Copies of this chain bind each other. A is one copy, B any other.
Amino acid sequence: MENPNSLKESLLPSSLESSHGHHQKAAVKRRRFRRCRSAPLTDRVVNGDGPAPSSETIPTSLHPSLKKVAAFLSIYLGVGVICFYILEPQIAGKKTSDVVDAFYFCVVTMTTVGYGDLFPDSVLAKLLACAFAFSGMALVGLVLSEGADYLVEKQEVLLVRALNAHQKLGPSDFMKEIETKKAAYKCLLVFIVLLVLIITGTTFLALVEKLDFVDAFYCVCATITTLGYGDRSFSSEEGRVFAVFWILVSTICLAQFFLYIAELHTERRQNALIQWALTRRVTNTDLEAADMDNNGHVEAAEFVLYKLKEMGKITQEDISLIMEEFEELDVDQSGTLSLSDIKLAQSPPPIR
């Protein structure tokens, strides 16, 4: 899901300036009074695992960590188990031990498998189950977007290293390999984990729940896809203990696998576009279009910006926004920033 912006091109810097003239001036004033406490930053700012920049303006908890995901998961399961343990008489179906059933019901609801071997049988239990299904969906989404991806990325480096052990890649080649084929390696990694989970689940269902092989495999498939028809499910106490962990991991794993396939698709598309932008012949028209300051030749930075736009990494809107700031800072209107420019631009105004 890139940002499609067919209409953005009409936002030329000139039109922006005229419409935002007074906002801009007000902003300058505000900015001049603000003391700067932030250390100079490199592009580490955006790295999830790097230390967060200590600044007054940037929110500190930008990247919810694995800890946060684990905390939410614990709270969800904790509250769920207590609620359904108390409401146990209002839940109908095949029962084993109270605590195990409460746990099992929680996980089956949260992952939206919903076998129906246990189901709420009172108004209160039904409404509570609805609430748990919605919050469970949101939680699974959180696990997918934050926790799982983080874990997979950590393992990815190991996988790439193992797969390329015989090729003796240098550190820069190694990083390039990871960067350009990130999604492909993630897919592979999750696929391997998924296979292991499917085999484990099928074996367990065959041995412990005494299902025949086809039924065991069918139940595994119906579970990880969160179908959960419920004609086959975990009915013994030990089966449900296993199910709690296995369902949680395997449903998330399959969903993550599909996410990575989508990412792989985007990655291929992106790489094709980058390849195309990098290999296509540069024409006079390109040079003219790339020449931002109209001085008759294209500097390195101008060329990079032009190509980035072509690759779809940035838009004219992004550039326009920053150009507003540039023009503000370029007090002597020379078209370049020097030390004297920023001193002038950032000095306190003469009158308070």
Which residues of A come within 8 Å of B, CB atoms? 1-11, 15-16, 19, 27, 31, 34, 36, 38, 40-50, 55, 57-59, 62, 92, 109, 112-116, 119-120, 123, 126-127, 129-130, 133-134, 136-138, 141, 145, 149, 153, 170-173, 175-176, 179, 182, 214-215, 217-218, 221-222, 225-231, 254, 258, 261-263, 269, 272-287, 289-290, 292-293, 296-305, 307-319, 321-323, 325-326, 329, 334-339, 342, 346
Given contacts A133-B227, A228-B228, contact A276 B321 (CB under 8 A): no
User: What's the Cα separation between A72 and B73 when bound, in Å?
Assistant: 36
* B137→A172 contact, CB < 8 A: no
* B338→A297 contact, CB < 8 A: yes
Q: How far is the CB of A180 from chain B (nearest CB, A)?
A: 10
* B130→A1 contact, CB < 8 A: no
Given contacts A1-B145, A310-B41, A312-B43, contact A116 B230 (CB under 8 A): yes
Enumerate the 10 nearest inter-chain pairs by beta-carbon distance, A residue then B residue, closest first.
A46-B312, A114-B227, A301-B301, A130-B221, A36-B281, A116-B230, A40-B285, A116-B229, A297-B336, A133-B225
Nearest-neighbor residue (CB-CB) of A336 within chain B: B297
Query: Which B residues are in CB contact (< 8 Å) with A47?
Result: 4-6
Q: How far is the CB of A270 from chain B (nearest CB, A)?
A: 10
Given contacts A297-B336, A319-B304, contact A289 B228 (CB under 8 A): no
Which residue of the partner chain, among B15, B49, B263, B339, contacts A6 with CB atoms under 8 Å?
B49
* A55→B229 contact, CB < 8 A: no
Which residue of the partner chain, among B173, B281, B296, B314, contacts A338 with CB atoms under 8 Å?
B296
Query: Which B residues are in CB contact (< 8 Å) with A286?
Result: 40
Nearest-neighbor residue (CB-CB) of A282 within chain B: B342
* B301→A302 contact, CB < 8 A: yes
* A226→B229 contact, CB < 8 A: no
Query: Which B residues are in CB contact (< 8 Å) with A9?
Result: 42-44
* B301→A299 contact, CB < 8 A: yes
User: What's the Cα separation between A228 and B145 when bound, in Å?
Assistant: 24
Extra 6 A-B pairs, beta carbons < 8 Å, given A6-B44, A9-B44: A3-B179, A19-B172, A42-B289, A43-B316, A115-B229, A311-B318
Query: Which B residues are in CB contact (< 8 Å) with A41?
Result: 310
